[in-house]
Amino acid sequence: MVMTRAWISDLGGIYVKRGSGVEESPFLPGTTVRDVKGHEYVFLNPAYVSRLLSEYAERQELYRLHLTSLKPINPINAPTPFEERSLREFEKKGFEASREGAAAVVGENGKRFYQRIRPLQVEKSCLNCHAKQGYKEGEIRGGLSVSIPMASADARVGRSRISLVLAGLAILGIVGLSLSLLLRKVVLAPVAHLHQVASRLMTGDYSARASLETGDELQDLARAYNAMTSHIIDSYQSMVQTLSAALEARDPYTAGHVERVSKYAKAIAEELGLEGRLVHQIVMGAILHDIGKIGVPDAILRKPGALDGDEKAQMRLHSAQGKEILSSSSDFSPALRDCILHHHEHFDGRGYPYGLKGTDIPLGDRIISVADAFDAMVTDRPYRKGLPRETAIAELKEKAGRQFDPQVVAAFLKVLGSEAA
């Protein structure tokens, strides 16, 4: 606008065809001209052009221009309060210092406008018309202000704020999603793995170990975790060994018996295709099966001959006593305690202490009783020589279905067969 005004001023004003809102300026009377065809042309000074452009822009609801001065020739050019304040300020500071103008949000008829005003400088060309008002070249000669309705500005700002918020939410969402995926992969999955290993260990699967190749602190943790697990299992096993060594010290005739029985039991359990956790439990049961004998008096335990009725009854208490001993520690699972309790049950229900039958007897006991009986038959005792292997095998076969579970006997025979071969 300032450029347009300066240009029109340099031309000394312009002529425009009269009509549709363009009439002769009352401040420049007698300036209208007529051509040979009878068309009339009115003379426009820069301020008039500014007003016409402002009306034009306002019709498009764009903005409004106001040319103003503290000493207006035309009363409609009188300043608003904001414009007056700004013009006084400009005159105080001089043109160069106030070149940037001033701005404010002003209210008018209940509407709000963003208004900006900048000073106009008197140029040589202005003096053609304004000399009589006493202005000099280089001075400030009023100002040009522009008002933008805040409604449209607000809407525009609002629209960009909404898109800003949406963009922000989208970015947050993407960042959040990637973080949670990362967290899942880097932290949660390894932790879940450790948790799973711990649960397997607690249910007695001592073969469970953590394997993390994350290459960071979690991998170190898994390594420490495995070391700790091995340590706990080792100390558990050495406690079990100690217990069974205590029994062997009482009953020297059975030296090596426990070790052989547990070896047989393990081989049978594996031959039957049992899972690692059950095999481990059966081995523990085999090592500890006679632990209750610690409570049997020497006279009976070490008696070289056959036991009489009373002594037999006392001896039979050892399975229940074994369970009792293990009950004092929570390190021994209920399944293991039951395994100790039932290792003298017979497949046909004629064993003790409960006379359980067939598959009511825990599988571990059906295995241990075969292994136990076989080793007892083939080893020497002070009062009798051990039976030959073949005789013992014949005995197992003979008692399959009565004292022993036939499937277990079959598995054991396979084990012995492959051992012999």
Binding site for Fe ion (CB under 5 A): 290
Q: Give the SS3 label for residue 37.
A: coil
Restricted to residues 127-146, the positions that interact with ligand HEC (CB under 6 A) are: 128-130, 141-142
Q: Which one of ligand HEC, Fe ion, none is in contact with 292 (Cβ closer than 5 to 8 A by kind)?
A: none
* Residue closer to ligand HEC (CB basis): 78 or 410: 78
365: nearest Cα among 282, 297, 278: 282
Query: What is the nearest approach in angstroms of ligand HEC to the Cβ of residue 118?
Result: 12
The rounded distance, in Å, linking the Cα atoms of 333 and 326 is 9
CB of 244 to Fe ion, least distance (A): 12
Task: Say whether residue 125 binds ligand HEC (CB under 6 A).
Answer: yes
DSSP letter (8 states) at residue 105: E
Structure tokens at 31: 């300036």
Q: How far apart are CA 260 and CA 32, in angstroms?
A: 133
Q: What are the φ and ψ backbone dihedral angles of 214, each rounded to 5 degrees?
A: -80, -15
Judged by CB under 6 A, the stretch of 42-50, 179-187, 346-354, 406-414 that binds ligand HEC is 42-50
Q: What is the smallest separation between the CB atom of 32 and ligand HEC, expressed in angstroms? A: 14
Least separation in angstroms between CB 190 and Fe ion: 46
- Interatomic CA distance for residues 343 and 330, integer angstroms: 21
Pick from ligand HEC, Fe ion, none: which does 290 bind, CB < 5 to 8 A by kind? Fe ion
CB nearer to ligand HEC: pick between 74 and 214? 74
Q: With contacts defined by CB under 6 A, how many residues of the chain interact with ligand HEC?
A: 28
Hey, which residues between 45 and 84 contact ligand HEC (CB under 6 A)?
A: 45-48, 67, 69, 72-74, 77
Order the strands of the 111-121 sheet from edge to edge: 64-68, 140-149, 111-121, 102-108
Name the residue among 236, 234, 255 with its Cα closest to residue 245.
255
130 binds, among Fe ion, ligand HEC, none (CB under 5 to 8 A by kind): ligand HEC
Q: How many CB atoms lie within 10 A of CB 388?
A: 11
Q: Which lies closer to ligand HEC via its Cβ, residue 13 or residue 351?
A: 13
Tell me the residue type at 106: V
Q: Which two tokens stand for residue 222?
A: 């898994």
| Secondary element (H or E) of residue 106 | strand 102-108
Which lies closer to ligand HEC via its Cβ, residue 122 or residue 286?
122
- The DSSP symbol for 384 reads B
Q: What are phi and psi of 21, to 5 degrees?
A: 90, -10
82/264 with CB nearer Fe ion: 264
Nearest distance in Å: CB 365, Fe ion = 10
* 266 contributes a contact to ligand HEC by CB under 6 A: no
DSSP string, 184-230: IIIIIHHHHHHHHHHHHHHTT-TT-------SSHHHHHHHHHHHHHH
122 binds, among ligand HEC, Fe ion, none (CB under 5 to 8 A by kind): ligand HEC
Question: Least distance to Fe ion from the beta carbon of 344, Å?
Answer: 6
Eight-state DSSP code of residue 72: -
In the complex, the smallest distance separating the C-beta of residue 92 from ligand HEC, rounded to whole angstroms, is: 18
Instruction: Quote the least distance from Cβ 319 to Fe ion, whole Å.
Output: 6
Residue 313-352 contact track with ligand HEC, rule CB under 6 A, x = bound = ----------------------------------------
Name the residue type at position 331.
Answer: D
Residue that the structure tokens 């699967």 belong to: 205
Chain residues binding ligand HEC by CB under 6 A are: 5-6, 9, 12-13, 25, 27-28, 45-48, 67, 69, 72-74, 77, 120, 122-123, 125-126, 128-130, 141-142
